[in-house]
Structure 1
Amino acid sequence: MKRVLITGGAGMIGSNLTKKLVSLGNEVFIVDNLWRGRLDYLNDNNGNPIIDLNNNFFNRDLSVSHSCDDLIEKVDYIVHLADVVAGIDYVFNNQGSLFRQNILINSNVIDSVRNYGKHIKGFIYAGTACSFPLTRQNTIDPEPLREEELYPALPESAYGWSKLMGQYETDLLGAETGIPVCNLMFHNVYGSPCDFGERSQVIPALIRKSINYPNEPFIVWGSGSQGRAFIHVDDVVNGIVLALEKGLGEGVIQLGPSVCTSIKEIAETVVDISGKDIKIEFDVTKPEGDKARSADYSKAKRVLGWEPKVSLKDGLMRQFNWIKKEIESEKPIGN
């Protein structure tokens, strides 16, 4: 049995990871300020919490120094997922505050591990493909990204820079303390449970619009030609579990497919799943972000024995059904 602390454990990735680790017989502790996560994400199919919320869940702001010092002593492994992220509108309109918050969150967590975690058997940091250089993501049909291309660094956004600095500080933690670390770099993760409100990322936003149509227009930001390597949350969770066993001390490992899917194709698939006659509108005055990216996941396959398994169509159908159920239950959007 592992005792694992998951920062950001009430979010989409964290809640699914918690359920997986608990099902494997591990004890999970969670710290989350519930900015995007929700406590009901941690419920089983019968609505019962899968962890002891009184003793294993901690609502704390990790941007505050020493906020998780005492939690480090309770566990053997740490999966650091917590960060500030949202859709492209939020990311590019709040770059300064987002960068600062993520730097504080990462540095505070790592400092707590450095000071109180000499016993820690493994530290996994969740990075992002947004940290790769803009020069490798500024054409529509780029070659799949490789881990060794991170430097010279030139992320497009403050979010990408903040996550890259977290990777660097994670490497310093490993070098200084001897704690085995692993930097996992996620491509565009989708799935449920998720935020599908105004701060949501592209897939849940498009699904929400399709469900609400025609009361909400189906507008796609940008030309739709921009593309991403979309990876289902189940595949990401499997990658994290494998990294706890095989990835510690192995450096940077990407989790993402080798296929780049355009936002236009995502929009068309969502419309098809909805069964509605929806007119797709493209707003080219809105930001698109990086042009396109995909992953060379050969290192993940070699080191972890990992490769993506959930098809995009199946994953989108699952997320569509979850969001539709949430909207029909009349819960406030995005809460």
Structure 2
Amino acid sequence: MVLFMKNERVFISGGAGVIGTELTRILVQLGAEVFVGDLKKRPKDLSEKVRYRQGDLNHISHAEIEGFSPTIFIHLAATFERSTENYDFWEKNFWNNVRLSHHLMDIFKDTPTLRKVLFASSYLIYDPSKYIFKKPALTPTFLSESTPIAPRNLTGMAKLAHEIELNFLNGFKSAQFTSVCARIFRGYGCNSRDVISRWIRSALREEKITVFRPEGMFDYIYAKDTAFALVRLAQTPDINGIINLGTGKSRRVSDVVDILQRRFQNLEVDLIDDIDMDYEASCADMSLFKEKIAGWEPAYTLESAISEIIEFEKSQLICEQKKQNGNILISSASRKIPLIKSILEAKDRFDKEILVYAGDINKDAHAQFVCDGLILLPATSVENFEEILNLLKENQIELVIPTRDGELEFWATHRKALEKEGIQVIVSEPEAITTSLDKLAFAKFGEIKGFPIIPAWEHPQGKGPFVVKERYGAGSRSIGLNIETLDAALEWGAKLAQPIYQPFIEGKEISVDAWLDKTSKVKGLVLRERNQVAQGESVVTTTFRDTRLEAQCTQLLEALPLHGPVVLQVIIDSLGNPHIIELNARFGGASTASVAVGLDIWYWTLLEWDNQNLDLVPYLRSDKEARQIRVPQDILLYDSSF
């Protein structure tokens, strides 16, 4: 009997995985509030009721967990190898298994609302000499919770280490919460990397499958059965410690092959005999589980589960055939390596198969060395539009990310024409671009709307001191600061093409990074102090919080039809009042500092490109601040063909 979980708040690490997907669905149906954390992007079929955090949980903070007030923590997140663990797995195992488990419990152990922890452990903890043999076994070895332990690989070692950690905490925290370590046997399920799913995918593609040791015996447990069993464990108050989770019945590898051959009559099977591999014969002793949870039995047999997986994989093949991932162009890429790396990191989270090209007028642009290639672009002028369009089509570009002020008008003007060709451009509306590039127009906008934008004039007003700069283009070029007299200001302005004059305001200079969706709503915003500035760019910058100023900046940005990343430059005077200098409707040179504290600009951009609901992806601002020091960094490439 399954009871409702209406008052439970459940955090699931690895909740977008094979077991986690099933577990989340069940918990939502039972009325629980669920918060999922996973490296993968949010599954499209995940209930909108579920709160989702995409990213490495090694970086999740105590504030994020405590803000959710979980009553149950189910720890599924882990990494593993499909068969033999290779050398590279050494580091992956430590980071994603050992360190992650410790980090999460370091947070959860001090969360006052927590009353239960479920850890997805593994039968790999048991001594392999008890169930792995040189010759095929006639019957499986039943492994009980008291069977000797001797982890057979790094994964098993990591699982055992965390079991020991939980047992340690039990000596201090048992009055607050209980811990259950479910030693799960041979799991398989939909959308998995397990051998059954891999064989089914091969069969559907009419490929041969390779089979090792068909006499091997495993306790195969379907992900839906595992998920349901974990729910029962979560609901049962008097269970603590180690408990096996399998079906209690073993099947041979040959049984799986026979089932597949009945479903795929032309399936070719390559049996490999000449291999140095032992024979496994394991099975879960489920006596303790059935004693604690009366009446539990797995709902699926190997036959019924394989039928379900086949139908799932068929649907995935159809989706793959329909799906055509376009590529990404970063225009005016030049030497903007930190920006490009930030985009690449988000792209890998979203879809590693997408190619990212550097676009530039310079054939020697350094950006090409960190991208998948260089697209040599002509100048972004009206007469070159057709040539640029053809280059985008030739390279299957479906997303363009402009990065330079001087090209924004071109992309904004042609955005709708490009959309008709299936190409999206992350750029604001022409009206917003014009207002942001024209400092006189931006000052007028502030005057009309009542925003604290520093006034600007074509002729100086007042007695000074003044700031004199070009009306268009980068504000740091040929700028005159703190010019004391009217005559001196006019003299400086005579050197410029189209000078404007502003009052000089002394104070702390800050930048405000933000990202706005297609409806021009601010998704997230970060303030950062410009500690050191060189040639108009922050070389040292530090993030900080000021809720009043954040609200003011949000109000200003949403008054313009902006889209994508933007940067405001602001001066805070001695009284704490903001004076807005300018708006850049693009990613800033030091905006990667804001990405580091949670302003997930490029991942949001990709999700929006994919027409995903961004309301389901919360802005998770770090509770720690970051200081970024921008220094040159060497890039080393190795290739024998140089």
Please say whether Structure 1 and Structure 2 have the same fold, judged by a TM-score greater than 0.5: yes
Give me the whole-angstrom Cα distance separating, in 2, the residues matched to 1:271 and 1:134.
Answer: 31
Instruction: From the superposition, tell whether residues 334 and 240 of structure 1 become closer, same or farther in structure 2 (CA, over 3 Å).
Output: farther
- Structure 1 residue 217 and structure 2 residue 208: aligned? yes
Contact persistence 1:187–1:230 (CA under 8 A): yes
What is the aligned counterpart of 1:99 among 65, 80, 93? 93
Question: When you count strand as a share of all residues, which structure comes out higher?
Answer: 2
What is the aligned counterpart of 1:51 among 48, 65, 70? 48
Question: Which residue type is aligned with residue 166 of structure 2?
Answer: T
Contact persistence 2:118–2:179 (CA under 8 A): yes
Q: 1:228-264 CA distances to partner (integer Å, 9 max, x unpaired)?
A: 1001112111111111111654211111122221222
What is the aligned counterpart of 1:87 among 82, 88, 91? 82
Q: How does 1:248-263 map to 2 (within 5 A)?
A: 249-263=239-253
Q: How does 1:59-138 map to 2 (within 5 A)?
A: 59-64=54-59, 67-73=60-66, 74=68, 75-89=70-84, 91-92=85-86, 94-101=88-95, 102-114=97-109, 116-138=110-132
Q: What corresponds to 1:27 in structure 2? A: 33
Q: How does 1:122-161 map to 2 (within 5 A)?
A: 122-139=116-133, 140=137, 141-149=139-147, 151=148, 153-161=149-157
Instruction: From the superposition, tell whether residues 273 and 68 of structure 1 become closer, same or farther in structure 2 (CA, over 3 Å).
Output: farther
Q: 1:87-128 CA distances to partner (integer Å, 9 max, x unpaired)?
A: 115x355441243121011111111112x3233111111101
Question: Which residue type is aligned with residue 121 of structure 2?
Answer: G
Contact persistence 1:228–1:292 (CA under 8 A): yes
Question: Which residue type is aligned with residue 143 of structure 1?
Answer: T
Identity of aligned residues (%): 21
- Segments of 5+ residues of structure 2 without an aligned counterpart are 1-6, 324-350, 354-642
Give me the whole-angstrom Cα distance separating, in 2, the residues matched to 1:119 and 1:238.
Answer: 24
Compute the displacement of 1:287 (Å): 7.3
Contact persistence 1:68–1:109 (CA under 8 A): no
Give me the whole-angstrom Cα distance separating, in 2, the residues matched to 1:263 and 1:94.
Answer: 28
Question: Which residue type is aligned with residue 75 of structure 2?
Answer: H
Give me the whole-angstrom Cα distance separating, in 2, the residues matched to 1:247 and 1:97.
Answer: 37
Counterpart secondary structure, 1:120:
coil
Instruction: From the superposition, tell whether residues 128 and 286 of structure 1 become closer, same or farther in structure 2 (CA, over 3 Å).
Output: farther
Q: How does 1:185-334 map to 2 (within 5 A)?
A: 185-192=183-190, 194-195=191-192, 200-213=193-206, 216-220=207-211, 222-246=212-236, 249-274=239-264, 276-284=265-273, 291-305=280-294, 306-330=296-320
Q: 1:147-166 CA distances to partner (integer Å, 9 max, x unpaired)?
A: 111x4x31211111111111
Question: Which residue type is aligned with residue 266 of structure 1?
Answer: V
What is the CA RMSD across the aligned residues, in angstroms?
Answer: 2.3
Instruction: From the superposition, tell whether residues 302 and 270 of structure 1 become closer, same or farther in structure 2 (CA, over 3 Å).
Output: same
- Structure 1 segments, 4+ long, off by >6 Å, are 332-335
Contact persistence 1:236–1:255 (CA under 8 A): yes
Q: 1:187-241 CA distances to partner (integer Å, 9 max, x unpaired)?
A: 112222x13xxxx22111111111112xx32212x22222210011121111111
Question: Which residue type is aligned with residue 136 of structure 1?
Answer: K
Q: What corresponds to 1:46 in structure 2? A: none
Question: Which residue type is aligned with residue 23 of structure 2?
Answer: L
Q: 1:162-182 CA distances to partner (integer Å, 9 max, x unpaired)?
A: 111111112222222222111
Question: Which residue type is aligned with residue 163 of structure 1?
Answer: K
Compute the displacement of 1:60 (Å): 2.5
Question: When you count helix as a share of all residues, which structure comes out higher?
Answer: 1
Q: Which has the higher contact order (CA 8 A, sep 6+)?
A: 1
Counterpart secondary structure, 2:197:
helix
Give me the whole-angstrom Cα distance separating, in 2, the residues matched to 1:325 and 1:97.
Answer: 35
Question: Which residue type is aligned with residue 283 of structure 1?
Answer: I
Q: What corresponds to 1:176 in structure 2? A: 172
Contact persistence 2:42–2:54 (CA under 8 A): no
Instruction: From the superposition, tell whether residues 13 and 290 of structure 1 become closer, same or farther in structure 2 (CA, over 3 Å).
Output: farther
Instruction: From the superposition, tell whether residues 238 and 288 of structure 1 become closer, same or farther in structure 2 (CA, over 3 Å).
Output: farther
Contact persistence 2:219–2:282 (CA under 8 A): yes
Counterpart secondary structure, 1:329:
helix
Q: What corresponds to 1:39 in structure 2? A: 42
Counterpart secondary structure, 1:225:
coil
Contact persistence 1:99–1:161 (CA under 8 A): no
- Which structure has the bigger radius of gyration? 2
Q: What corresponds to 2:343 in structure 1? A: none
Compute the displacement of 1:317 (Å): 0.6
Q: How many residues align?
A: 309
